[in-house]
Chain A
Amino acid sequence: MTGRVTGMVIGLATLVTSGGAAQEYLVRLDTRVQAASYRGVKLDSIPVGTVVTTPGGSQETPDGYAVTCIPGRTHCSFYRAGAVRRGGPIATSVDLTAWGFGLKGLSFHLNGRVGADLGSSDVWPGTDPALQLNEGYGEYATERITGRLGRQIEHGRLGYYGFDGGRIAGRFPGLGLSVIGYLGLGLARGTALPVTSDVLNPLDDFQPRERQLLAGGALEWQTRRAEARVDYLREVDRDTRNFVSERAAFSATLRPVDGWSLTGGAEYDLSYDWWGSSDLTLRHTRRWGGAAVGVRRYRPYFDLWTIWGVFSPVPYSAVNGSAWLSPVAGLTLRAHGERYSYDDTRANSPLVSEEKDGWRWNAGIGVSPAAAWFLDAGYHAEFGTGAASQGGEGSVSWRPVSSLTLSLEGGHLVRPLEFRTENPAVTWYGGSADFRATERLRLSLAVTRYDEDNRRPDASRIDWSQTRVRAGLTWLFGSSADRLPLPPAIRRERGR
């Protein structure tokens, strides 16, 4: 696999650098490095006979760790603080687009990444394997048809899917229609690795022996006032000929009147025969603010090569609302709230009441008293089954010149952990700088200090406090390299 990636990188690099073969190209290099540490837990046990019962009736180890004893077992278990682990992930990603090969509409795209953990304990996720090819494909586009071949990512209502294969899209402008079809060998969700990769199985779970065959299509329709899209996707295990997934989705947005929109969609899992996530939101937007109300339903999705789906994860249904207001220039107020409720799990025990409901809200304010200053503050609260958190955060940004942004930020958070007797409060604060040395070179540096106050009553309080440092460099070169993704959102005319 690594050899294939290397070959593609070398091949494309050769195309670009060989005597004028590629007339134009754009390369973006991003390097990010971070210094971080964290401290986990370590499972331990002691014989039942050595357990100490406290005056309050709880059971502990002699050195004060709360233990869990299961009747019939000879040992009670508990968690000690684990060792401090330090990670130093560094990753450089290369994004290359090359065109001008003598055939109008022909271009090549490559996005790859080299990563490593400079820390002592190789703890950081995502740095293995060191070399990863996110995308690498050739594209030929005409006014009506676009064809693409290679490693690519398809995005739709069903999520982001990577695959090695071909994709073709046809457009019928007169009808507002587009038809998309793709076929290839799929990658695992949320990563550029095949499902057969060793690093995808850290917990020694079930894993396919062959990559799945992925096929899908979409139909898009667009008019001035409405857009709609239908997606279909199936994945088949090439080894067993069984389905890995089969899903369909519909999504649409209507804009019947200027400033108003109605957006919604739904997914259906044909394998499990149930509806997946769906949503419907009515939104009103004005220059001075807006509001949105919506309903939605969320249900997780699992591939069929795992067995998680047979545990019948239940969806929750939610109603939500948002509002934002900018009464005067330089002032923005925002608020969002959602209340949700899970479907009946049919797994409740007569001894334990089932929690089904949760809610969350947040509010904030942004103030720009002067062109170079921006202050933002917000508060959020989440309550629900499993975990919750409440806290606030704020930041002050100063941009003395257009190429430099300096920020100070901080926050405080209380976060009961998932089904665990811990109520840690975390206070964090730090600063960051973002400097655009030239139109093509951007540097960033951030330092954040986290101070944790673990309020657990027994000895297994874990001090997670640490300082994290992040640094980054973005370098653009090639033709049109000065065009950053999002120029300032202003319109001007010549001479102004």
Chain B
Amino acid sequence: MTDLRRALPLLLALLGGTAGVAALRQDPFDHEEHAKLFPGCENCHAGITDPARSVWPTAESCASCHDGTVEKKVTWTAPAGPAPSNLRFTHAKHAEEVLAKAPADSALQCEACHLEKDGKWMAVSRARSAQCLDCHKLPAEHLAGADTSCATCHLSLAEATTLPRERVAKFGTPANHDAADFMTSRGHGELAKPPAGTDWAVAPSCTTCHARDFCSQCHVNAPEVKLIQAMAPDPRSLAITAELKEPASHEDGRFLARHGGQARRDAASCATCHTQQSCVACHRTQPAIAMALPEPGPGRGTGAVIERQQPASHTVGFADWHGQEANAAPKTCAACHARAECLDCHRPNPGASGSYHAAGFLTRHPSAAFSRESDCADCHNQSTFCATCHEKAGLANAGRALAGGYHDSRGSFLLSHGTAARQNLESCVTCHTERDCLACHSAQTRRFNPHGPGFNPERLRARNPQTCAACHGNAIPDD
């Protein structure tokens, strides 16, 4: 009994760290003010060691002084029921173990945990974790202990069922969470692994504060990760919010170009943060590697939300030369673009304007058509689009090739029209018919030879003799 009394202060102090912590924080009772009145803790907190008695003083015991005469009256109601806690022990249990191990240790008093070393009597506070760690020979700061050290005093969050969500939200953040690589698999992923030689499924340093729901906030692949599944589900763990942070690898300016190869090499790493939706946001072709990622669903994090990012190549001027790239690397384009997007521009719509050509293009289309930079015929049929319009404008000259007068910038245009025609034949045919030319350039008319450099009569005759017959009739020459 003597030993028990000796240990009582310590047990009372431990109570302050568990059942009494909240009360101490909220209790306006100033222990220091009453230091001279109370020689020990057990007078008021006898229930710490004796379950048959109350942990708290009665209102009557306070009123013995605070009767309105000696001292002003006070209102005091003892908290009801056990206080919420995530401690692995009760003060009574802890006292039993302490006394069993060190029956004569006079240091194990309330003040050992609840009073600063060499502090003033009754200057009590919540349990000083450093002193707990010191007694238990855990050479580290609180929240910085080894993997198993948390479990010395604390239950896992899922086991601490009485702890309210608000208390969880106020858990402190260990310093190692600020490490540069903490958010990587080398960081918290390694730390979560159970310490070697223990029976833990997950390191207690994680489960003391977290449960499966917490991990699933970020981990898209939570159902596939054994460590996460080894943790018990507990929605209170969502009181601590987590946010995906972009890995350092993604900051590399070349990441966008290289992410495909990296995904092939380490798809599991991508699956931590990305669902299929991340990929198909850009990759319309739904590549196999993307489809191997998890689909969004219950028990998984939403993952990184991706919106399409314009490739570095799509800079100023890209609209002018994208055709080259599209022809040479159609698959690259198809990763992001549907064919319909191409056809929005590459299939002109009557009445539409400004989709492909810049505003005001109409005014300069003649000069753009001459010596054209791109192939107008890819989008515009020369007959329906160009010739129809020119005909209505009176520019088409069917059957009146030699009327003359339109190309009047040179008096000798007829002499130089051959050069103009071979250089800009596509522009000529938007106003002139074949019959205009055949009026002179035919074996059956004035016999002006239209064939110029590169003309291969044998090849052409073999492919389409009808073309030859248009001028030569049945008398197609051998060469």
Q: Which residues of B lie under 8 Å from residue A271 when comparing CB positions? A: 459-460, 463-464
A308 to B454, CA, bound (A): 14
| Shortest Cβ gap from B245 to chain A (Å) | 8
Q: Does A47 contact B (CB under 8 A)?
A: no
A188 near B349: Cβ-Cβ < 8 Å: no
Q: Does B342 contact A (CB under 8 A)?
A: yes
A125 near B437: Cβ-Cβ < 8 Å: no
24 contacts between A and B (CB under 8 A): A40-B393, A68-B408, A82-B394, A143-B288, A190-B379, A193-B381, A199-B383, A205-B435, A242-B463, A242-B466, A251-B327, A271-B460, A274-B456, A285-B312, A300-B425, A310-B460, A312-B450, A346-B453, A417-B366, A421-B409, A448-B359, A472-B351, A472-B352, A494-B244
Interface residue from A201, A258, A309, A395 paired with B254 (Cβ < 8 Å) = A258
The answer to whether residues A40 and B351 also contact, given A285-B312, A310-B450, A489-B308 and a CB cut-off of 8 A, is: no
A420 to B453, CA, bound (A): 27
The residue on A at minimum CB distance from B416 is: A352
B393 near A428: Cβ-Cβ < 8 Å: no
Q: Which residues of A lie under 8 Å from residue B230 when comparing CB positions? A: none
The answer to whether residues A308 and B429 also contact, given A205-B434, A384-B371, A385-B424 and a CB cut-off of 8 A, is: yes
Q: Does A62 contact B (CB under 8 A)?
A: no
B residues with a Cβ closer than 8 A to A are: 243-246, 253-254, 257-258, 260-261, 281, 288, 302-310, 312-313, 315-317, 320-321, 324-332, 337-344, 346-354, 358-360, 363-364, 366-373, 375, 377-389, 391-398, 400, 402-410, 412-413, 415-416, 418-427, 429, 432-435, 437-438, 441, 450-456, 459-460, 463-468, 470-471
The answer to whether residues A311 and B330 also contact, given A202-B383, A203-B433, A338-B373 and a CB cut-off of 8 A, is: no
B244 near A493: Cβ-Cβ < 8 Å: yes
Q: Which residues of A lie under 8 Å from residue B244 when comparing CB positions? A: 493-495
A50 to B445, CA, bound (A): 32
A70 near B404: Cβ-Cβ < 8 Å: yes
The answer to whether residues A202 and B396 also contact, given A126-B384, A191-B384, A395-B359 and a CB cut-off of 8 A, is: yes
| Shortest Cβ gap from B53 to chain A (Å) | 51
A261 to B322, CA, bound (A): 13
A258 to B313, CA, bound (A): 11
A193 to B380, CA, bound (A): 12
| Shortest Cβ gap from B93 to chain A (Å) | 43
| Shortest Cβ gap from B288 to chain A (Å) | 6
The answer to whether residues A189 and B381 also contact, given A40-B392, A274-B456 and a CB cut-off of 8 A, is: yes
A351 to B417, CA, bound (A): 12
| Shortest Cβ gap from B273 to chain A (Å) | 9
Q: At the interface with chain B, which of A12-20, A88-96, A435-443?
A: A88-96
The residue on A at minimum CB distance from B379 is: A190
Q: Which residues of B lie under 8 Å from residue A45 when comparing CB positions? A: 403
B371 near A340: Cβ-Cβ < 8 Å: yes
A488 to B394, CA, bound (A): 46
Q: Which residues of B lie under 8 Å from residue A40 when comparing CB positions? A: 392-395
Q: Does A482 contact B (CB under 8 A)?
A: no
Q: Does A368 contact B (CB under 8 A)?
A: no
A79 near B398: Cβ-Cβ < 8 Å: no
| Shortest Cβ gap from A481 to chain B (Å) | 14
B452 near A190: Cβ-Cβ < 8 Å: no
The residue on B at minimum CB distance from A244 is: B464
The answer to whether residues A358 and B371 also contact, given A263-B325, A491-B309 and a CB cut-off of 8 A, is: yes
Q: Which residues of A lie under 8 Å from residue B351 when comparing CB positions? A: 32-34, 89-91, 115, 124, 470, 472
A366 to B404, CA, bound (A): 46
